[in-house]
Each structure stands twice: as structure tokens, then as C-alpha cells.
A and B are shown apart, each in its own frame.
Chain A
Amino acid sequence: MLISRRDALKTGSAAAALLGSDDVLASAQNTIRLGGSVPMSGKESDTGLNVLEGYKVAVKYVNEHLGGVKVAGVAYKLELQLFDDASDPQRAVTLIQKQLDSGTDFFLGSFSSAIVLPTAALTERARRPMVQAGGGADQIFTRHFRYMFGIYPRASRQLVTLVEMFKSMHGQVRTCAIVATNDPFSKGQADGSVEYLRAAGIQILNTYRLPPTLTDVSGVVSDLRLRTPDALICTTHQEDSALVTQQLVATGTDVKLLFLALGPEIPAFRANLGKYAEGLTFNQYWKPTYRFGDPFFGSTANYYNYYTTVTDRKETYHTAGASLCITCYVKAIQDAGTLAPDKVRDALAALNYESFYGQVKFTADGDGDAVLMGAVISQVQPSGLEVVFPPKVATAQLVYPIPNWATR
């Protein structure tokens, strides 16, 4: 809590700094402005602030350690100009327009598809690139936007790795149940996974859909006690993930595998659950122990070291994904050798390089390549967060089934 307060104060001072930097002309000569919005208050601000932190860390690194971005022999500093959209799409659109008016050429994405899509439509029309790490709904990538790139694969493809893992377990997972919230990200994942699960021959006992507003899930949990699947797949956001887990534990409802799309990667989430966090599996898009090289940070480990020295906010894959947005821009600008938005866009579309995050390659529709930039499956284990699938990058064996709640 102390940490987050300090963090909040920092954000406050950053806000003051950003306000001061409204003076465009003075600094226009040698800066590259990165515009966009992030929900810093309101319902989505928990993840929103993680995204913001990732952006800030990478910008700081590029400016302070690389001396900015060199284009045709001139060094440009990066400058973040993000505002708080408070998860209000209308506000986001208006303020993005303001940045377009003032000549911002490059944009970063907000968090949650309901904001990303309308703002991306705007930047698309203005032919300005947007790189985002916060909107996964399929609709964003089926509109043939040419200027928008998302780090994560579209929602319907995000459970591919999980199903691959089930397949590799030789019939240990025969049945599953799905819990999804009725929103684009969550329902999109659930809908998409059904096909893969069927193809893998896994029986789906039930699909539970939760309303977007807070609700009690005791009915779901009782039902699960009666028809217990081997694996419970929750494509839910943090709050619902926490509620489902809490109520499973509180009623001694055991499953052999509990997958939560969002939640366990966040330290506060694990801290709240305490010993019951152990054994939870989740989609891990990035992890500090990866051994990738990176043209800017050098390696994943260096990135992680740098990250922890400049901020107290705990890393999640959202912070890393957001940092990658920045370095993608830097790489693309260097590849293009110009600041012309069209050229940078082409360079982004052509990216195919190894980064601290992994291999970067976008599909023709603009989302992350489902294999190269897709998730690995991690599990909370006593030693920490361990990758358990695919075997190539695994750091530990999957614990299956997970220990009963009551025996912990």
C-alpha cells in the first residue's frame, strides 16, 4: 500500500510535468511526441496504470541511456503526452483529436477495447500509426486498420497455447468448464477457445457467463461442485478472477487445474489470495527470466533490471507489453530512417526482430502473431511464477492436479 501511494505521488508529479510540457513549439525541434490516452482513473485504471508505467520506463531508458532516437544523424528525444481517458470513449476521442490537431504523429494505445477501437479509427483516418498493448477484441483487428498494431494476439486466439498444453497432457484433462464475463475481451477469448477445445477432444461441461457488473458467483461455484470439470478456464478480468477463486476456496470446491486469464500475473492479486494463489495457471505474455536479446536493452534481464531500478510498481506482462510498444516505435523509426508516419507505419508492419519480449511480428491485420507473440502458460509455484508450457521455454513442471484447498 505504501508502495502504491508513493507511486501515486509520482504519477501526480508526472502529471504536473506533462502539464508543463504542453508548450509544443519550444520543444518541437528535437522531440518525437508520442500521444494517446490511458485510463488512470475509473474502472479500468488498475491495468491502465500498469500500461502507463511500461510506457514511462521505456521512454526514460531511450532518452537517458540511448540518447534518444537518431534519424538521419539527428538525435530526437521521446516525449510522452498521455492523458487520462477515465474509460470514457467520448473524452478519449476528443483529446486524441486535440493531439492530432497539434501535430502529434505517433500514438500509443489505451486499455480496453471500448476505448482502443474508436480512438484507433481516428488515428487510422489521419494516417497516423498507433501501437497498443491494451485492446484485444477481435473487432479491432477485423476492420482492416492499416496503421494500428497490437502487441497481443486478438482475443479469440489467446487460448491457443492453453489448449496445446491440454493436448500435450495425454488425456489428463478430459473435461473443462469456462467462466467468461460479458465483455469484448473476456467473451471473445471464451468464444474463440471453444473451437480449439473441441478440436482437442476436450468436453466442455458448461460455459458460465457473468454480467459485467459485480455479482456473486456462489451459484456457479455450487454448480461446479456438482459437475466438477478437470480444468476450470476463467477468461475473466482481475475482479471476477479473484471472486471466483475466493469462493472456490471458501467452499472447498476443488478442480485439478484453475486457469485465470487475468489476475495471477499481478502481485497484489497473489498477495490477497496468499497461499491459495499457489497452483493457479495463467497466460503469461512475458516474464523477466526470458533469455531474449534486445537491440536496445541488450537482453530481457537488462530490461528487467532497469525496470526495477526506476520504478516501484511491480512488473506485469502489461508493463512489458507497453514498454515494447515504445521500442517497436524506436526500431521502426530507425529502420525507416525518417519520421514520416507512412514510412514508419510500413516499417512497423515489416518488423521481425528479437526483443526482450520475444520475437516481434505483426499479422497483416495488425495483431501480434499468435505463435510468436502469443502467451506461454505459467503457474504460481512456491519458487515464484514458473513457465510450464511450451516445453521449449518451460522453467518448471506443471503441478497437476493442484493441491486441495483444504489441505493447504
Chain B
Amino acid sequence: MKRPLSRRAVRTGIAGAAVLGALAVLPLIASPFALRVAQTILFGAALAIAWNILGGFAGYWSFGSAAFLGLGAFTAALMQEHVQIADPALRLAVALAMGGIAASLLAAIIGYPILRLRGAYFSIAMLGVSLILAELSSGLDVFEGAVGVTIDPVTAAAPERFFFYVFLALAVIALSIAAAVRYSRLGYGLIAIREDEDTARMLGVPTERYKLVGFIVSALLIGLAGAAYAFNLGYVTTSSVFRSQLSFDVVVYALLGGMGTLAGPVLGAAIMAVLNQVVLGGLLQIHMLMTGIIIIALVFLLPSGLMGLMRGHRRILTVVGTPMPEERAVTAAEQPPAPACPQTDEAVLKLVGLSRQFRGLKAIDQIDLQLRSGSISAIIGPNGAGKSTLFNLVTGYLAPNSGEIWYQRTRIDGLPTHRLSRAGIARVFQIARPFHGLSVYDNVLVGALFGRDGSRDPHQLTMDALALARLSALADQPAASLPVGHLRRLELARALATRPRLVLADEPCAGLNPTETREMMDMIQAVRRTGTTVFLAEHDMQAVMRMSDVVFVVAAGRLIAQGPPLDVAHDPAVIEAYLGKPFELGSVSEPVR
């Protein structure tokens, strides 16, 4: 289990070097036609690899690759036309660079707003962006897209050979970047975003920033490819580079090859190029028709893409190489001293006059409360009393209308969720939200990678958390296959892997049978023994009474009682609002320690 990466990496490295070597000498033996086909493959591969960084890893499908492709192409073409650089190689290099920069600038500008869109809406918005650019490039005379821009040859060498190397370099760069992304924190973060963006945030993934970075990197590579495409054709018009068909082709490559894998986009591009230019090259009117038929056939024959053929139920994230370096220094304010011993009088969480309204409805109304460090506290109340809203406020999913939230000595209201996770606040959702597509191990690994204090070995953290949740034996199972009770434990393990100082657990026992409930209670006790403060929202009064040090009762958004469980259980206000009758503990009279 421990780092089989090295051997696999070596094997992959050797295979990669061999392929690269073979490709590098290809021009010496292959016909110019074969080189042109290879060019098309490499061009398509570079595009699809770039697309895959955002589309495959993060699940954000762009239908607008043509926007970056066309922008890169036009920028490069106009650059070489208007800026006179005598040396052709330099001219090409500068134009390529400008093409890439223009595309990534566009991504940086539109990225923040457009990446707030999810699913199909993101796809459509990107299609819109590419269509706007297409229209502008032909409508505005500065772009000259209507009549087209011609590009002088940049080399005396055979163009098919020269551009083969250009596209080879591009594809290799794209693949290396994609691989680097894939096995970095960025890659794990993007995959977590694909699986469940809200949960990813809760585990400390800086989702906004990661998506934006992925988007910009992807745009940069597509822009570069577009610029190279322009030089290869020697003539750029709106219709040749801003084709929406190119955008869809790229998606087809990635889907055919295998979404989210490294080699998939390359294979997809290869199949389609060979089909289009070699196998069906001689067919006349029906070659597009045949392409359509083959695409549909491939969907049925290879439902999960070509890469699906070669992959079993392996861990998707597989292994972590060296311990992940801390990505950024945690600021002093966020780095409180570790608790010296469990249960001190210091307040871990303090709410002051906290209020939140939804269209006039006061969901949380002037709540003040404090959690002692190392304690187990529970919040109870009827449905709709505001328990979940309170948790959402504390974890940054909602911003309060008024009031303050203090975590240790820092005021945290308004901070983004992922930063709270970094600071040590974790949450277990009421409805288990595992990353269905990942293994149990990988689920927990994401928490370990992004939680508080990333300097420890994430693998070890993961294994520890799995052990505490008694899931070690199931580490390699896909999360989707677990029964409900196990999923709850997985949630807890994932939260623990972030090494929290405060865990908010939203009804961890809901829907569990008595045995499972008891196991869960034991685990929560175990969590507390590590010095972590636990804040429960729970309906199971047995569990609340047994475990909690302090109970808070909310009704209609207001805090109506707090104190030790037994006191609260006999509080007349609580009985009236919630319990109906005094709660009897039966045989157990003391909270379990």
C-alpha cells in the first residue's frame, strides 16, 4: 500500500521516453502524408489534453474551446503581420507566446464569473463566449477575420516535418503539464471538485482558485495550439478557426478516449484523426456520415472510453508520492497553539448575537453560545429550529446578517469554507456525501491532503483516520458500494483526516440501527479523546444525553436553554417547546465519559 508509485512511475517514464524517442525520429522514415496525419493527431491531442484538465479532472465541460483556439490563432496571425520580426524562428516563437497569453488572459478575465456556473450551464456559457468571439472576429475590422489574415512561411524546411515537431512539442508540453497537475494537490483538488464541489470545499479545497487555475492553464495550452494551427495553415479566417465543430470535436476526443485520464484524450484524438484522414479519407460524400455511425458504435462498444478497457476498479487518485509540501504558509492568526490538554476552559467556538434571515423569516435569531475546547456539545431542537442553518453559518456556507463568529481567537464569519477547513473546522453532513467515483481510501485522502496542517504524511493521516472509523479493510472499495452505516463512518473518517480542532456533525446517527448508533457514538468519543471538540446536531435523545457535556436547545431560531444534559432535560421551556415531557434516561444516570 505504501508508495508503489516509484515503480509505476519508472515504468511509465521508460515507456514515455520510448514513445517520444520513436516519435522524434518518425520524420526520418515516415512519408509526408503520415506526418500530416501525425500532426493532426498531435494537434487534436494537445487540444483534448488541455480541455481534459478542466473538463476531465474538474468536471467542467467547456463547449467553447474554439474561443481560445481562435483567439490564439488570430493573435498570432495579427502579431506576425503587424510586428515586424526579421528572424522567422523568433517571429514564430513570439507569435505563439502571444497567442497563448491572449487566450489565458481571456480565461483569467472571464474565469471567475463563468466558473460559478455549474454543469450544462457552464458548457453553454462557454459556447456563447466562443460564438461572441467568432462574430466579433469577422465583424470588427481590427481582426480582419472576414477577409482573413495570411501568414508568411517561417521555415525553409519541409513544413510537414517542421510543424510535426512543433505540434509534438506542444503535445508533450500539454501532457507533461496535465500529468504534473494530475499528481499534484491541484489535481486531487480538481478531481474532488468533479466528484462533489460542496464537499470538496468543506474538506479544504480552495475550489474557486483551483478551478480558475485549471481554466487558465487549459486556455493557455489551447491558445498555443491555435497559434501553431494558424502558422501551419498559413491563412486564418473566422470560419477556419472559430468553428464550433472544433469545440465539439475536442469533447468527442476526450469522451472516446476516456474522460479524466491522461492518455485518454490522446487515444481519442488518434482514433478520430485516423478515421477521418486515413480510413475514411478516400470516401467521398459519406465520410462524415460514417464518422457519425462509428461514434455511436463506439459509445456502445466502449461505454467508458478506450481507457475504460484497460482500467479496473483501481483507486483513481492512486498514491501520493513524497509528502505534500505545505502549499502556503498558514498565517499566524490561523495557527493557534495546539491544545495543551483536552477540556480546557478556552472557548473553541463563540457565537455572539448571531442572526440570519431568509426573506424575513428569522432562521437564526440573536444566538450567543460558546463551546469549550475538548468538549462534546449537542444542539437539539424541533425540525426547522435552525440547527442546520447554524452549522452552515459556522462552516461558511452562509454569511450571517448580523453577529459575530469567533473560532479560537479569530473572527471567522464571512471567511470562505475552505479556509475554515484549513484552520481546523470540519463537518459531517446530515446526508452522507461521499465522492461516489472514488475509492474509500481516496475519499479520505482528499481530506488529508487539504485539511489543517498539510505537512504530515497524508498517507499516514488517511490510514489513521480509516483505522479510527474501522474502515481499513474496505480502503480499496469504491465508495459507491458502501452501505449507509459505512458511509457515515466514511464521512467521519474524511472529516478526521483534515485533522480538525472542531468537528460539526449534523445528525451522525440519523437512519442508523441501534448497533450502528452505538458504534458511531464510540467513534465520536474516540474523536474527542484526541483533543478535538465535537459539536453535534442530533435528534436521538439517548445519544445526546449519554455523550454530551453541554446541550443547547434552539426553537424557532432562538436559543431557549443551555447547560448539562440533565438540567436541560428538565427545563420547563424545553419540555414545552421540544420534548413534550421530561426526558428519562432509564438505567444510565451519568453521561458517559
Contacts and interface: CB of A to CB of B under 8 A. Distances in A.
A118 interface: yes
A142 B417 CA distance: 60
B285 A114 contact: no
B233 A94 contact: no
A101 interface: yes
Given A15-B286, A40-B284, A184 B233 contact: no
A89 B233 contact: yes
Contact of A19 (B148, B239, B283): B283
Given A114-B240, A117-B150, A94 B234 contact: no
Contacts of A42: 288
Interface string B25-41: 00000011101110110
B146 A187 contact: yes
A350 interface: no
Nearest to B44: A90
Interface string A178-220: 0000111001100100000000000000000101110000000
B36 A97 contact: yes
B411 interface: no
B283 A84 contact: yes
A83 interface: yes
Contact of A94 (B33, B134, B229, B283): B33
A98 B138 contact: no
Contact of A114 (B33, B43, B235, B277): B235
A150 to B, nearest CB: 15
Name the prevailing secondary structure of the B interface residues. helix
A11 B287 CA distance: 13
A183 B237 contact: yes
A255 interface: no
Interface in B200-250: 229, 233-235, 237-240
Given A118-B233, A139-B235, A100 B32 contact: yes
B517 interface: no
B237 A184 contact: yes
Interface string A93-133: 11101101100000000000110011001100100000000
B321 interface: no
Contacts of B147: 137-139, 183-184, 187-188, 191
A340 interface: no
A50 to B, nearest CB: 14
Contacts of A84: 283-285, 287
B148 A182 contact: no
Interface string B118-135: 000000000000010011
A84 B289 CA distance: 12
Nearest to B150: A139
A118 B134 CA distance: 20
Contacts of A212: 134, 138, 146, 238-239
A314 interface: no
Nearest to A49: B285
B139 A182 contact: yes
Interface residues of A, number: 49
A24 interface: no
Contacts of B284: 11-12, 14-15, 18, 40, 82-84
B282 interface: yes
B145 interface: yes
Contacts of A142: 150
Interface string A247-288: 000000000000000000000000000000000000000000
A184 B40 CA distance: 25
Contacts of B36: 93-94, 97-98
Contact of A95 (B235, B237, B281): B281
Contacts of B37: 94
Contacts of B32: 97, 100-101
Contact of B138 (A11, A83, A183, A191): A183
A188 B150 CA distance: 14
A98 B240 contact: no
Contacts of B131: 213
A117 B152 CA distance: 12
A86 interface: yes
A91 B276 contact: yes
Contacts of A83: 281-282, 284
A64 interface: no
A355 B455 CA distance: 84
B159 interface: yes
Interface in A41-100: 41-42, 45, 82-84, 86-87, 89-91, 93-95, 97-98, 100
B33 A97 contact: yes
Contacts of A139: 147-148, 150, 235
A41 B233 CA distance: 21
B538 interface: no
A93 B287 CA distance: 17
A94 B40 contact: yes
Contact of A211 (B139, B229, B276, B285): B139
B287 A86 contact: yes
B160 interface: yes
A12 B287 CA distance: 11
Nearest to B149: A139
A18 B282 contact: yes
Contact of B160 (A12, A87, A97, A117): A97
Contacts of B138: 182-183, 211-212
A117 B234 contact: yes
A393 interface: no
A89 B139 CA distance: 22
Contacts of B134: 212-213
A94 B41 CA distance: 11
Nearest to B135: A211
A125 B32 CA distance: 13
Contact of A12 (B150, B153, B286): B286
Contacts of A86: 287-288
Nearest to A180: B146
A142 B235 CA distance: 13
Contacts of B287: 41, 84, 86
Interface in B250-281: 276-277, 281
A201 B284 CA distance: 49
A364 interface: no
A103 to B, nearest CB: 12
Contacts of A41: 285-289
B234 A114 contact: no
Given A86-B287, A211-B138, A183 B146 contact: yes
B436 to A, nearest CB: 39
Contacts of A209: 139, 146
A211 B147 CA distance: 12
B130 to A, nearest CB: 12
Given A143-B150, A182-B238, A12 B277 contact: no
A90 B285 contact: no
Interface in A135-149: 137-139, 142-143
A8 interface: yes
A54 B33 CA distance: 28
A97 B159 CA distance: 11
A45 B31 CA distance: 30
Contacts of B234: 117-118, 121
Contacts of A122: 159
Given A84-B283, A100-B32, A183-B146, 17 more contacts: A8-B285, A15-B283, A42-B288, A45-B285, A83-B284, A84-B285, A87-B239, A94-B40, A114-B239, A118-B234, A122-B159, A139-B148, A139-B150, A182-B146, A183-B147, A183-B239, A212-B239
7 contacts: A94-B40, A95-B281, A98-B36, A100-B33, A118-B234, A142-B150, A184-B237
Interface of A: 8, 11-12, 14-15, 18-19, 22, 40-42, 45, 82-84, 86-87, 89-91, 93-95, 97-98, 100-101, 113-114, 117-118, 121-122, 125, 137-139, 142-143, 182-184, 187-188, 191, 209, 211-213
By Cβ-Cβ distance, the 5 closest A-B pairs, closest first, are: A15-B284, A182-B146, A182-B138, A98-B33, A94-B36
